[in-house]
Structure 1
Amino acid sequence: MGLYDHREHVGNSGDVWKHFLLLEVADCLLTPDSSLVYAESHVGRPKYALKPSGDWESGIGRIWPALPLLKDFPYFNILAEFNSIESIRPLQIEFYPGSALLVAELAKRKKADLLVEIWDIDPAVRAAWNEYLDHSFISFHLDDGFSGAMSLLKRAPPGLLFIDPPFTTPEDKQAAEKLFCTAISLGWTVLCWHMMATIPKETSSSFPDQSIEFSIKFSRIGLEYAGAEGCSIRAASPDEKMIRRISARIKAFLQIIR
């Protein structure tokens, strides 16, 4: 698989949906004095500077004006604080944290212990993480995320796994589904993101019955992304109450931004 660079696409409509849901799930798992293993198969950079005319303008940029109404949701709360600290102009969105950094920031707020295991095959991504690797709880692996995460599942206590490959080859789909199914069988909470067109509807049944799909049509929330109709998160957890809670939180989110 070739290298995938997310810098031109960061903050797009798909990022909004996946990071909103990821942080809602992590919020359920991270409680004061709790301990959680967080694994991410294809991590990308820890943070990004947003450039004019980037995909973020039709994604998080369109939702940003509603920020005062969205601070009850961890994703938007962290974005607001991150930009007020990092930006010269407070509350102007200029920086976007990646998924692993978002989860780490949430754990810090919840006073929970977090062990982060992340993979990417790009040496430039590894270099971007250097300033964070002094923290003993973050382990970056310059390696294939599918095989690396699979190995972790079998030797670590169940935690939260986020599968987010670029789907640049046909093999990505099969590898993502295999990793997803293995994680469920071992008691992990697992999320897998994809654009709606990436995994055709007629083949999505290969995911196990105990999983649920949280999908969104971008037009429903006033967003756009490269002509794509929408995106989806396939989720499963041994905690059935969590799925019901996430469904309620999605409903509350949609009521605010529609």
Structure 2
Amino acid sequence: MFSYRHAFHAGNHADVLKHAVLIATLQHLTTKEAALTVLDTHAGAGLYRLDGDYARTSAEADAGVLRLAAQADTGTLAPLLQDYLDLVRSFNPGAHIRIYPGSPFILQKLLRPNDRLKLFELHPTDLRALAGNVAQLQAGRQVAVLQEDGFAGLRRFLPPPSRRALVLCDPSYEIKSDYARVPEMLQDALKRFATGTYAVWYPIIPRPEAHDLPRRLKAQALRAGRNWLHATLTVRAGGGPRPGLGASGMFLVNPPHTLHAALQQALPQMVELLGQDRNAAHTLEAGG
């Protein structure tokens, strides 16, 4: 149950997609004055060293955020990608990117004083790292680290007092049941708080459950009468001699109205800059 460590994958192409979408979403949500509650169901350690043993073992950041940063010096990035890269670089005082912020630190960076962040994590090692990293923020009551199952734990925070919330759900999917628990979580959350914004990341791998997941999420959104957006990024064909993830997706319910146009500009650039073979591609669809 506790075998997955995101430190091996920090800053890869999937993180570029996930965190660029997350930043654009939160930037939009914080333009409204009312307080926002943000819930991260699978928070991880919060901060990762790209020059550490874990990250260098896989070197996935080389083909993700580090490649994007190198390419950015030779041309103009789409605003969504530039905002992402600027935020990552804000954690790195020098010219080189050595620290990669996970979703907890990306979220906290963009929150206002009256917003609240709830971080769920069960992995004992990542939990200790997360608690230590968050303590350095001296954020007080703004950020809470919770040692509990995020799928179940978020229920008691929905609906939030301010009636505004963003939920990020990105389990490792190493446990097969995650593919069922994600749509079950969304169904329950929409019943509790239909107007919240829900962002789900998932890997695109040769498993029926993975290919069925976005269809199930779309069905939940349509059943609740809510708008939705689905974006995928493929950097190379799955399988073959190179191990690791070749594609991933983001599915949002009640997405910002500005996100579709931002992704229309950014996704082709992600394919161009991060693509690893002729199978590199993207998809983008929305409805509601």
Give the structure-1-normalised TM-score: 0.84
Give CA-to-partner distance per residue, 1:29-60, whole Å, 9 cap, x none.
01274421010100001211103352111111
Q: What residue number does 2:175 align with?
A: 169
Answering whether residue 165 of structure 2 is matched by residue 159 of structure 1, we say: yes
Q: What residue number does 2:119 align with?
A: 118
Counterparts in 2 of 1:5 and 1:202: CA distance versus 1, 3 Å:
closer
Answering whether residue 84 of structure 2 is matched by residue 75 of structure 1, we say: yes
Please tell me whether the aligned partners of residues 78 and 106 of structure 1 are also in contact (alpha carbons under 8 angstroms): no
Answering whether residue 247 of structure 2 is matched by residue 234 of structure 1, we say: no
Counterparts in 2 of 1:14 and 1:130: CA distance versus 1, 3 Å:
same
Alignment match of 1:201 (pick from 200, 207, 211): 211
Counterparts in 2 of 1:202 and 1:76: CA distance versus 1, 3 Å:
same
Q: What residue number does 1:191 align with?
A: 199
Q: After TM superposition, list the pairs within 5 Å mapping 1:1-258 onto structure 2.
A: 1-31=1-31, 33-51=33-51, 52=56, 54-67=59-72, 69-70=76-77, 72-73=79-80, 74-83=83-92, 85=93, 90-107=94-111, 111=112, 113-128=114-129, 129-133=131-135, 134-135=138-139, 136-154=141-159, 156=161, 157-185=163-191, 186=193, 187-197=195-205, 199-202=209-212, 204-207=214-217, 208=220, 209=222, 210=226, 211-219=228-236, 226-237=243-254, 242-243=256-257, 245-254=258-267, 256-257=269-270, 258=272
Mean Cα deviation higher: 198-207 or 131-140: 198-207
Deviation, structure 1 residue 112: 5.6
Mean Cα deviation higher: 246-255 or 54-63: 246-255
Share of identical aligned residues, percent? 19
Give CA-to-partner distance per residue, 1:72-91, whole Å, 9 cap, x none.
433211112221x2xxxx22
| Structure 1: 5+ residue stretches without partners | none
Counterparts in 2 of 1:79 and 1:67: CA distance versus 1, 3 Å:
farther
Please tell me whether the aligned partners of residues 212 and 234 of structure 1 are also in contact (alpha carbons under 8 angstroms): yes
Deviation, structure 1 residue 176: 1.0
Deviation, structure 1 residue 227: 4.8
Deviation, structure 1 residue 228: 3.4
Matched AA of 1:122 = H
Deviation, structure 1 residue 10: 0.8
Please tell me whether the aligned partners of residues 78 and 265 of structure 2 are also in contact (alpha carbons under 8 angstroms): no
Q: CA separation in 2, counterparts of 1:203 and 1:5?
A: 22
Matched AA of 1:252 = Q
Deviation, structure 1 residue 7: 1.0
Matched AA of 1:77 = D
Q: CA separation in 2, counterparts of 1:91 and 1:236?
A: 37
| Structure 2: 5+ residue stretches without partners | 273-288
Alpha-carbon RMSD across the aligned residues, in angstroms, is 2.4
Counterparts in 2 of 1:137 and 1:75: CA distance versus 1, 3 Å:
same
Deviant stretches of 4+, over 6 Å: none
Report the count of equivalent residues.
242
Q: CA separation in 2, counterparts of 1:231 and 1:15?
A: 9
Give the structure-2-normalised TM-score: 0.76
Q: CA separation in 2, counterparts of 1:255 and 1:167?
A: 27
Matched AA of 1:194 = Y
Matched AA of 2:86 = N
